Structure formats: structure tokens, C-alpha cells
Amino acid sequence: MIRDALLACGLVMAYATQLAVPGLPIGYTELFLTLWIMLSIGRVLAGGRLEVSSALARFAAFWLILALTLALGAIVGYVTKVLLLDPVLHDTFAYMLLVGITCLSVAEPDADRRLRRIGWLVIAMANAGFAWQVGLAWGWVRQPGVDPWYWDRFCGWSDNPNQLALYCAVIGPLALHLVTTSANRWAKFLGLCSLIPTFYLGRLTKSDTYLYATILTGLIFLGLRFRTWLSAGPERSRLSRQMNLLLVIGCLPLAISMTPYALTEVSSAEAFAKSLTKDKGGEATAETAALRLYLWDEAFDKGVRSGSLGLGPGPHLERPPITDLQFLPRPFEAHSTILDLYTQGGLIAVVALAWIVGSATMSAWRAKLDALLALVASIVVFGIPHLIIRHPIVWFSLAICLVAGTPRVIPATVRQWEH
């Protein structure tokens, strides 16, 4: 249980970059995850059992491919340009932690049960932190050394509002998965209640990506749940299922008949959509879009110039001219998971990432876990305009999906706490 709590703390605190361990050059996440890895290795050395599963094999293959591509990219980078040592070491250490938590977590005996328990701990700890940060947002509490606002965007314990938005985008669907697969009514109730502060803080960050990810995952989840309900077994009411099927079929001609009226409201819908985005689609949104397009073009050019082999770990882009209101380090990333990985490990690394995400998606699909499919969709949407490959919560989510594809029969006694 102590190891599970350490891993949950490490996953939750990863976005809290404003919080530092006194007297140590590392953050709480690095500390907790390192302790968890050491305890897990110690358990194995003491005679603990490991299980070689398909999830472990896939993670091992992915990290082996990524390590080789990053090593080859580093050679190309040292030959063609000057690489700064600190960013390279930072990314290398981050990848090593991710290798440890992914491979060791899925190799645990009864990995699905343990990951599920850790998931509940993550939801509980995250929402406790979210509740405290709501107090920071409203000025009810004060925390020395923490500035919870990035201009008019809420960042809480993180340095960047998008970091907090990512965790809200992941923790929401994760809580939904635990709720929909739990038999305990109190667990369902508390899990649903946890969605409220998660969504509230996500909107306070004013992240457009969080808004798009939430809308898309919500639609995907509802569509999949409706499909699952329609394809349920004979225990469902046949009359009720037929009525709902007729309702779905009837929606098509109804939608066609409403098209002329809908077209007249396009401008209103566009205005409504803009009102939901950061700065209501105004100058801030335009500046962000221009900056990202510039970075993406530069990242693609860097990747192509490296022969699609990459330049090794770390950021590789120079400061763009669009930096009037942007405070960016130098060098820095393209803020796109695909393009950043392309500049680091080349085309093979990108293909490997697509393979592991696709494997997680297919595992969740085979397990018929609708919320996990929505979770993967949220990760993919957030990964397009942001660099999220170094965040542990992303890999923990993929681990849950991969393990879900090979479920085990768990005795009722070990899951008694959920019932």
C-alpha cells in the first residue's frame, strides 16, 4: 500500500512544478517516483514475483526502440549542431523514470487490480489538491512561494496553465472509467463528484485544448455508451431497445429537415464557439496560433534536415520572432508531441509512439471500456498542440489501457473495498 501511495503521489504532483523539495535539486514527482522504483526493484530482489504480460512486452519494445532512435539522434545532433547538456540530461532522466514506472507497474502480480487501486488514489489526491487550489483561485488561502495566476489564466501549483489543463483532461476521463466500472455506489457518487472541481479548474486555465478535448471525449463516451447499451444482452428490455433504435433512426430525417434552419445560425454558432475559447477568439488566441504554426514549421524543417533521424533528447528550436508577449526559454520545444519527438528521435520514434498508443486503444476497445477509449482520445487531442510525452500521468493511463486488454479473474476478496 505504501508503494501504491508513493506512485500515486508521484503521478499527481508532476504538474506542481512550483513546489520544490527543500534542500534538493529535484521536485516531488522525481522524489516519489524514484522511491517507488527503488522499492519495486527491492521487492523483486527480495524474491517478489514478476509477470511477463503482453503489456510489459509492448512497453519494453517501445522503450527499446525509442532509446535506440534517441541515441542515434544524439549522434546526429552532436555532429551537426551544439547541444546543451542540461536539457539533454533532463529529458534522459525523465525517460528513465517513465521506463521504470511503465514496465514495473504492468509487471506486478494482479497488475489490473493494483493499477485500479492506484487510479483511485490518484483521483482522491488530485481532487484534494484541486480543492486547495480552488481556494488559491478565490483568495481564500495563501501559499508562500506559489503564484497561482499566469496573467489572467489559472495555473495553480504549475508554472504553465497548460500543465494543469492536461491533468484535468486526463483525470476527468480516468475518474469516469473508475466510476463506470465500480460496483460500489459510494465510489460511483464520489467519483462523479470529483468531476466538478476537475472541470472547474480546467476551465479556469482558459486552455482551448482542454475545451476541445473535453467536448470530444464527452461525445465519444456518450456515443460508445449508447452503442454498448443497444448491443446489450437479452436481459435488456426488448421494447425499450427497439424504441431507442427507432429514435436514433428518426434523428436522421429530423436532422436533414433542420439543416436549412441550422445554416442560418452559422454565425451565431461561430460566435458561441469563440466565446468559449481563450480571449473569446481574440488577440491572445491569434498570437498563440501564430506562434504554434511557426514552431511547428521550424520543428518539421529541423527533423527533415536531420534526415528524419532526429537530433537527440532535449529541445532544438531557436527563439522565434513572435515573442512579444511570450516568455519562452531558449532553446525550447515545438509544443507538439509528434513534432518534438520527430526532432528528437526521427520518424521511427514517431511510428513507435503511434504504435503504442494504437495498441492501448485496441486493448481498451477489446475490453469494451468506453471511458478508457475516451481517455485515449483526450490524450491524443492534447498531444497534438502540446508536448506531453514526459508526463507520467499519460503513461499511467496508457498502462491501464494495455492491461485492460488482458484482464484477469480477480477473487472477490481482493476487491472487497470496491464492493
Highest mean pLDDT: which range of 230-244, 283-297, 390-404: 390-404
Q: Using one digit for the tens of pLDDT, what is the confidence trace for 236-289?
A: 555 545 555 554 555 556 455 545 544 444 344 344 344 444 555 455 556 667
End-to-end CA distance of the chain: 19
Q: Which of 138, 258, 288 is nearest to 200 (CA)?
A: 138
pLDDT score of 250: 53
- What average pLDDT does range 359-363 have in this prediction? 93
Alpha-carbon span 379 to 387, nearest angstrom: 11
pLDDT tens, position by position, 76-97: 988 887 677 888 888 899 999 9
pLDDT confidence of residue 401? 93
pLDDT score recorded for residue 205:
92
Q: Of 411, 340, 408, 308, nearest to 95 (Cα)?
A: 340
pLDDT, the chain, mean: 81
**Whose grid coordinates read 494543469?**
164
Tell me how crowded residue 301 is: count the other CB atoms within 10 A of its CB.
12
pLDDT at 284: 57
How far is 313 from 296, CA to CA, in rounded Å? 17
CA 77 to centroid of chain Cα atoms? 29
Residue 135 grid cell: 481556494
> 227 vs 223, 236, 252, 276, 390, CA distance in Å?
6, 13, 16, 29, 34
255: its cell numbers: 436532422
- pLDDT for 252: 53
Of the two residues 310 and 246, the one the predictor is more confident about is 310
User: The C-alpha cell of 178 is what?
Assistant: 473508475
Contacts of 189 (CB under 8 A, 6+ apart): none
Q: How confident is the model at residue 271, as a pLDDT?
A: 47
The dihedral region occupied by 282, where left means phi > 0, alpha psi between -120 and 50, and beta the remainder, is beta
Residue 343 clears pLDDT 60, i.e. is over it: yes
Phi, psi of 254 (to 5 degrees): -65, -40
pLDDT of residue 39: 92
Residues pairing with 154 in the sheet:
149
- Reported as a single tens digit per residue, the pLDDT across 101-157 is 999 999 988 888 899 999 999 999 999 999 999 898 888 998 888 889 988 899 999
| Angstrom distance (rounded) from CA 295 to CA 158 | 23
Residue bearing the bigger pLDDT, 20 or 407: 20
Contact 372, 364 (CB under 8 A): yes
- State mean pLDDT over 3-26: 87
Of residues 106 and 326, more confidently modeled: 106
CA angle 290, 293, 297 (to 5 degrees): 140
The whole-number average pLDDT for the span 37-42 is 92
Q: What is the pTM of this model?
A: 0.84
